[in-house]
Amino acid sequence: MFRTVFVVLVLAAGWGFALQSPLYAACLYLWIAYFRPESWAWSDIFSTLNLSYIAGIYLVFRTFLSGTRLRLDWRSGLLLLFLGHSLLSASLGLHADASFGYWQDFAKMIVVSILLTNIIQTPADLRLVMIVIALSLGFEAAKQGWAQLVLDPGGRNDNGVPFLGDNNLVAVGMAMLVPLVAALAATSTGIYKRAFQFLNIGVIYRALSTYSRGGFLSIGAVSAIWFWRSPRKARTLVAVVVAAALILPVMPQQFWDRMSTITVDTEQYDDSQQSRLHFWQVAIAMANDRPLIGVGHRGYERAYNQYDWTEGKFMTNRAVHSAWFGVLAELGYPGLLLFIAIVFGSLRSCRRVRKAAE
């Protein structure tokens, strides 16, 4: 009952703000998309309302009615080309009906992404959007993280997150959220700074408690880059050490035994590691068989059995476990080239922003 009341109150306030501007409409949409109230609340009423679709349609109309001028540059052009190529792949893929359904969700994300680049016009706008994303995705995660750290330290948390997926995707998603929350903490003062720091500890522990080796490596990579990029390395080192001292000692031997299998020694590979190498080889086989359009947008799992020469050694209908090999298998070599160009352009833009801020 409490969860239902909470969602109703947030939706009422969100729609009240959304009527005022496209920015607030975008924040409402992002909260629904990241938080997924229909899955969090213990009531079926929200799942029947299709909240995300309604909020998304309203965002598009509110943006155009506000007179916001859409600016399209080469980065937006690459996204639209990638979207067009994925549509071609979905239409001509091995499982067109399923691929097209997934493509529709992907198209919504691309449209909203382009709208956000035009709606967000000031640093304050960007900060508001970052806060909405951080709280929407991190609220429940941090709550679970802190609850487990206090009540069941070292325990494993295999709960999925509707927006992310299974434990591996949750771990990597939480690792991606950490720098966002850290940036909000670094640019806040007083109680808000402490609140974001508290949130981040819960998010980090939520990632580690999945026992995902990819999540463990992701947290390590985030910490290393944070230290490398920080102009105040002593303060950053203290923050990393404090977080590690709070979290790592409670992890049991079972956790460290699993992390110890992260190795380049082929004699120590476990089935999970061997399977990933096989999945990537299958992805290459798919791309070589259908080099221009791949097996279809989000078609890897459905096409896996057809290309698996081990005849089910690693079970059936498996995921690729790699964005790079996934794009290669599902969209072919042109799709991979577009994906690389998008990533390169994003890194280039981030570098320019970082230099401008120095």
Q: What is the pLDDT of residues 338-356, one digit of tens each?
A: 999 999 999 998 888 888 8
Lowest mean pLDDT among 122-136, 251-265, 292-306: 251-265
Q: What is the pLDDT of residues 244-292, one digit of tens each?
A: 888 888 888 888 888 877 765 555 455 667 888 999 999 999 999 999 9
| Maximal C-alpha separation, the chain | 62
Q: What would the two tokens of residue 296 be? A: 């279809």
Residue burial 222-247, b: 16+ Cβ < 10 Å; e: rest: bbeebeeebeeeeebeebbeebeeeb
Q: Closest Cα partner for 252 from 117, 134, 156?
A: 156
Quote the pLDDT of residue 83.
97
Looking at residue 157, the DSSP 8-state letter turns out to be: -
| Rounded average pLDDT over 52-79 | 90
Dihedral angle of Cα 223, 229, 233, 237, to the nearest 10 degrees: 0
* % of residues, the chain, pLDDT over 90: 62
Q: Give the separation between CA 28 and CA 10, rounded to whole angstroms.
A: 9
Residues 6+ apart with CB under 8 A from 146: 198, 201, 202, 205
DSSP conformational letter for 68: P
pTM: 0.85
The burial class, CB within 10 Å (0-12 / 13-18 / 19+), for 249 is exposed
pLDDT tens for 151-208 read: 988 899 988 888 888 888 899 999 999 999 999 998 999 999 999 999 999 999 999 9
What is the per-residue pLDDT for 11?
A: 94
Quickly count: other Cβ atoms within 10 Å of residue 185's Cβ: 20
